[in-house]
Amino acid sequence: LPWWGLKMEAPIKMGAPSGPKAQPDIAPASMSVKYTFGERGEGYPALSHTWYQGTEKPKIWKDGGIPNWNDGTLFIGEDGMLLADYKKYLLLPEEKFATYEPPTPWIEPSPGQMEEWIRACKGDSREPLCHFGYAGPLTEANHLGNVAYRSGKKLEWEPESMTFPNAPDAEKFLRRSYREGWSLT
């Protein structure tokens, strides 16, 4: 949801990872990573975003300060918070926003990622909601979080050169060496 609503693309920093000990070949089932995103055009200032997965949860969730949904995004603003997933949302504190009238939805409800993919394969002209222009940057950011986690460092990302200027040694986690006789071209 934040990638849609906040026009997020490549993060410029990621770090402060937490979770169990990093494994050499796989990402952990539970972890958290803090990202920093730069300005993204007019009206979209720099922001920080923390990703939690598995048993890693934000303090406000653990302390009961927000409903304990299994999945969702918590947007924290100057005047309140928005807790949302793809099917529901809650403005907090609830009493402050009790009379809020939401705008008319303008995005067609999704039948689900798999159904959108099948429709696209069958030639449906509608663009899937999770098209590559959306899913690519989201996946890149998640993988960069895994690199920060595995390296145990705060990293600065240069998307054009695909390098970490402050930690070139972490770049070994960006690619893998293929076994002799195999390549990806």
Residue-wise pLDDT for 171-183, tens only, equals 999 987 778 888 8
Strands of 13-18's sheet in order across: 47-53, 31-37, 13-18, 155-156
Task: Please say if the pLDDT value at position 94 is more than 90.
Answer: yes
Helices (H), the chain: 2-5, 59-62, 113-121, 132-151
% pLDDT > 70, the chain: 100
Q: What is the mean pLDDT of residues 56-62?
A: 92
- List C-alpha distances in Å: 177 to 28, 142, 159, 164, 174: 21, 21, 21, 19, 10
Work out the pLDDT band at 32, boundaries 50, 70, 90: very high
Backbone φ and ψ for 154, nearest 5 degrees, come out as: -80, 130
- The predicted structure's pLDDT at residue 126: 85
Distance CA(138)–CA(3), nearest Å, equals: 7
The torsion defined by the Cα of 38, 39, 44 and 49, in degrees rounded to 10, comes to 0
pTM for this model (two decimals): 0.83
Nearest-5° Cα angle at 78, 34 to 13: 20
